[in-house]
Amino acid sequence: MEPGVPFSLLGAVQLLLIAALGGLAVTALLRRSTSAGLIAVGAAILAAVEVRTALRIGIPDSDTLALVRAAGGLLVGVGFLTGGLGSRKLPTSLYGGVVPLAAALGPSSLAAASAVFAAGAIVWARRDQIALCLAVGFGLLAVANLVAVAADEGGTAPAVVLALRGVAALAVLVALGLLAQSSLTAKVVGAILIGVITMAVAAVGVVGNVVVTSYEKQSRETVEEAALGRLSGLVSLGEQNKNQAVNLSLFCTVGKDCQGYLEQFLKNAGSDFAVLVKANRQVVSLAGRPALSRAEQLGLARSPVVDLVLRGAEPQLYGAVRLTGSSPALAVVGVGVSPLAVRPTGQSPPPEVFVYGSRLDNGYVFRDIDAGGFGLSFFAGDTVTATNLNRNAADRVRQIVRGADSEGGIPDQGETIGSQGANPTVRVVPIRGADRQNVGLLALSRDPGPALQAERDALRLLMVTALLALLAVAVGAAVLGRRTARPVQDLTDAAERIAGGDLTATTAVRSKDEVGTLSRTFATMTASLGQLTGDLRESAERLETVLASMSDGLLATDEDGLVPNVNRAALEML
């Protein structure tokens, strides 16, 4: 299952499915037949698969679970076809065609086929409301197994799969409720479990959301704070480059120290560059590793930060620029004017400016790789100009940034895209030039591994606790239901014996509740009935003795003129 689904939905659906399938297994087990045993084993396998699914948080691969689901569905179908919960049985000669038909399908298709088979078997075995609900449930599970093929790609498919399974679980629970109508124990256990399942689903949903929200908030705040630090680093780099540009203008205007300064620059610089831009926008490359290409020089000469200083609007300035060469690149440049430059008047624009810049390339971002384990990437349009991530991680971040940018653009204050499944949390901030226009994007990402593992451990513990609590309550409910229903069953058995003529039947119920009172009243009634019957028998025996000792003949006739009774004297006379 794709991990990027809401945990409240995941927890609720899994608990409902486990309860529904577990209830079906127990119901079939109580039938104590081989066919019902197949249903019980199949339903238990399906329930175990859902338990495993609930605990495998963050693992999208479910091929093995799909195959196990197929096996469980086939067992349930065969159990129904052989009369596990119905009166119709399938001839033995048809057994061989079930498994080979589905064996050649893929995991998801096989699981779907087995669920369809189970649904058809249920309808074939018994055609009533119970069969309809069970068939709907397994039919929806079949559809969910087919939709699961697209769940690995994310989107809405995982939520659709869970929604289908949730409705399927409700359909199976309704069928179990209908089956429980014929058993007082089932009614008691069902009433208890309904309340417990409802509370468990609510608790898992609420607590799970709190856990997820807490980790997500912490991750967002960490990434946002780190991104702010990277922006501050760009500002510091701009100030530094502005000072370097001023120093460069001083050394190169004097002339004799310009070459020495440039040699020192070439020795220590990483991906920095230095150029001289004249008022007519002619560019002279002074140094660079690598030196700026001709296209990059022309783009830099017309950049807003250079233009503002050349027009005399600012004596010195720094800002971000996009270098438009064979492939786009970003840089932070500082622009300075030599105080020794000759101007016609004090207010005249400078005849030339010196530009000192630093490329925001892989060398720059890889120096950031040890700063908290963050992924730093720069974008010029849709192109990743520099990143310290591997190719797969960089592609994932690019897709996230592209998706955020396509939804109305990145706001001026930036945007944080929360972690979805295995995707990282990403903070995207626009990089503005001197004219406040967007020249690129800074994307800071953080691998969700450690935080996500802690989150998954917490959610897994929550699910295990909920499942254990549900199991404990189910066992307790079964014991309580049996103890509640047993006295009523004893009274029913005693009543059936009395109806058969056994007036000595008694019950052993000694409780002090209403059932105990009913048992004692029943015992009193039985004793009274026995005494009355004995009195009538004694009266009949006395009457028989009197009739037999009479010397006169006595005949008794009914309304049809028949003689049902005659004494001995009458027989002798006749």
**pLDDT tens digit sequence for 28-49:** 776 667 777 788 888 888 888 8
Q: Is the pLDDT score of 235 beyond 80?
A: yes
Start-to-end CA span in the chain (Å)? 97
pLDDT digits (tens, 9 = 90+) for 165-218: 778 878 887 877 777 666 666 666 666 666 677 777 776 666 667 776 777 788
pLDDT digits (tens, 9 = 90+) for 58-86: 665 566 777 777 777 777 777 777 666 65
Specify the pTM: 0.59
Q: Within 10 A of 549 (CB to CB), how many other CB atoms are there?
A: 10
User: pLDDT value at position 152?
Assistant: 58
Q: Whole-angstrom Cα distance, residue 275 to residue 252?
A: 11
Indicate the average pLDDT of the chain. Answer: 75
Q: Is the pLDDT score of 25 beyond 80?
A: no
The HSE-up count of residue 53 (CA atoms within 13 Å, CB side) is 29
Which of the two residues, 69 and 57, has the higher pLDDT score?
69
Going by pLDDT thresholds of 50, 70 and 90, the confidence category of residue 126 is confident
User: pLDDT value at position 57?
Assistant: 63
301-310 mean pLDDT? 89
Going by pLDDT thresholds of 50, 70 and 90, the confidence category of residue 331 is very high
- Which burial class, exposed, middle or buried, applies to 243 when counting CB atoms under 10 A from its CB (0-12, 13-18, 19+)? middle
pLDDT digits (tens, 9 = 90+) for 372-402: 678 899 998 888 999 988 888 888 889 888 8
Percent of the chain with pLDDT over 90: 6
Q: Is the pLDDT score of 89 beyond 50?
A: no
562-574 mean pLDDT? 70
- Rg of the chain over Cα atoms, rounded to whole angstroms, equals 43
Going by pLDDT thresholds of 50, 70 and 90, the confidence category of residue 464 is confident
Task: For Cα atoms 280, 282, 284, give the angle at the middle one, nearest 5 degrees.
Answer: 145
7-11, 129-133, 410-414, 530-534: segment of lowest average pLDDT: 7-11
Q: Is the peptide bond between 349 and the residue preceding it cis, with omega within 30 degrees of 0?
A: no
Q: Whole-angstrom Cα distance, residue 497 to residue 506?
A: 9
User: pLDDT value at position 429?
Assistant: 92
307-328 mean pLDDT? 85
Q: Provide the b/e sequence for 346-381 (b: ≥16 CB within 10 Å).
A: eeeebebbbbbbbbbbeebbeebeeeeebbbbbbbe
Q: Whole-angstrom Cα distance, residue 32 to residue 34?
A: 7
